[in-house]
Amino acid sequence: MNDLLHFLDQSPSRFHAVDCLRRELEGAGYTPLSEGRGWSIVPGGKYYAVRGGSALIAFRVPAGEARGFMISASHSDSPSFRIKENAELAGPEGYLRLNTERYGGMLFAPWLDRPLTVAGRVLARAGEGIETRLVYVDRDLLMIPNVAVHMNRAANDGFKYDPKCDMVPLMGLGTEKGAFRAVVAEYAGCKAEDILGTDLFLCPRQKAMVWGAGNEFVSSPRLDDLQCAWGCFRGFMAAEESASIPVFALLDNEEVGSLTKQGADGTFLADVVARVCAALELDRAAATANSFLVSADNAHAVHPNHPEYHDATHRPAMNAGVVIKHGVRYATDGVSQAVFTALCQKAGVPVQHFANRSDLPGGGTLGLISTSHLSVNTVDVGLAQLAMHSCYETAGAKDADYLVQAMTAFYAASFREEDGRFTLSN
């Protein structure tokens, strides 16, 4: 559990999450592959590639002939507010505020009245080139103050927040122009005038924690989807070798539709698979047919105050195992459900099922989007959580370990499809 909390705290932005995993892979002897060069891949080797600074794919090649790919995909981004380019809003009354835009479909209210800061990256001039610098302004810098109930009597009557007005963070009073850029430059370790581009997002200052009468809950910013990313990564790192190639994929921009070069609607995963097949002289179509993808993105637990939002017979609970998601916006079908269920049964991991209440549309995730580029058997799974897309979410303290166990077994297995029969072996 401490390892998960550490990962969550060390990942205030998607760029930090990728950097965290990249450093661990380097420490474990993985070879970085640059997409801009030829790839030399050999049996027994372990590798990773990063795209866009916010997506990462790691894989290992078995010593013997490889049959296919055992893949997990999760996402690095979370709903937040992006800091606009011309960030400083001067006034009224001497206040300095920051101009932001919505990134993803967040709950507004939790962002109010809590210490915030910014995290992300800057692109800074470095000699003849441009270099990336990760930034986390490690201090209580910002707050979005509520309006007092005395002035907004409708505050508790289903108030509608206006993002251009109600969600604007306050940074200072009587503060000089240019102060925001200066703080960012200070924490990026460069000069303000050398900053040529930025990707900066608001993030809550509150750390991840375990709580409850029996320590049954874990709460943190970005549990969706860093909890699943962590579970898949731990399983990937722990798994024994099989006849297939284990692939860990962390992709960006799920919260805004995945339609970027580093998102699930980009070619990153398909490009990696194609390059591995070419390097190992594998028949790509055959390898794809013998591949399996676990799309791991958090699921909704039954809410203690609003149990009515769940379907009558699909009611995921926290600390009750990995959730398989069903419905038209998910990639799960009978085959992928059966294969994943059999795998979990063998690994001793409980599974439960989610389906939307029939009058609610629910949300989608990267499973279906990914299969449009790499058409492999895919199951959508997740861990049950509360308050999805709040800036401080809650999940079950035991569930991440269930996902680690399931994914350790998954990556140690090899999938084969032959004449309508499906086998998972080592």
Nearer to Co ion, 224 or 311 (CB): 224
Q: How far is the CB of 88 from Co ion (least distance, A)?
A: 32
Residue 299 is given by DSSP the state E
Q: How far is the CB of 160 from Co ion (least distance, A)?
A: 25
Q: Does residue 393 touch Co ion according to CB under 5 A?
A: no
Pick from 270, 264, 248, 250: nearest CA to 16? 250
DSSP string covering 313-362, please?
TB---TTS-EEEEESTTS---HHHHHHHHHHHHHHT--EEEEE--TT---
Burial of 360 (0-12, 13-18, 19+ CB in 10 A): exposed
Nearer to Co ion, 311 or 393 (CB): 393
Q: How far is the CB of 337 from Co ion (least distance, A)?
A: 20
Subset of 255-314 contacting Co ion (CB under 5 A) = 297
Q: How far is the CB of 86 from Co ion (least distance, A)?
A: 30
Nearer to Co ion, 188 or 296 (CB): 296
Nearer to Co ion, 225 or 380 (CB): 225
Subset of 192-251 contacting Co ion (CB under 5 A) = 224-225
Q: How far is the CB of 296 from Co ion (least distance, A)?
A: 9
Residues 6+ apart with CB under 8 A from 309: 300, 303, 357, 360
| 27 three-class SS | helix
Q: How far is the CB of 227 from Co ion (least distance, A)?
A: 10
Q: How far is the CB of 416 from Co ion (least distance, A)?
A: 30
Residue 371 is given by DSSP the state H
Residues 6+ apart with CB under 8 A from 62: 43, 44, 241, 242, 243, 244, 245
Nearer to Co ion, 202 or 251 (CB): 251
Nearer to Co ion, 203 or 282 (CB): 203
Pick from 61, 72, 68: nearest CA to 422? 68
# residues contacting Co ion (CB under 5 A): 3
Nearer to Co ion, 30 or 201 (CB): 201
Q: How far apart are CA 188 and CA 184, in angstroms?
A: 6
Would you give the binding string for Co ion spanning residues 99-118, x where CB under 5 A is met? --------------------
Would you give the binding string for Co ion spanning residues 2-41, x where CB under 5 A is met? ----------------------------------------
Q: Where are the alpha helices (DSSP H) in 105-149?
A: none
Nearer to Co ion, 106 or 188 (CB): 106
Q: How far is the CB of 366 from Co ion (least distance, A)?
A: 8
Measure CA 16 to chain center.
Answer: 11
Binding residues for Co ion, per CB under 5 A?
A: 224-225, 297
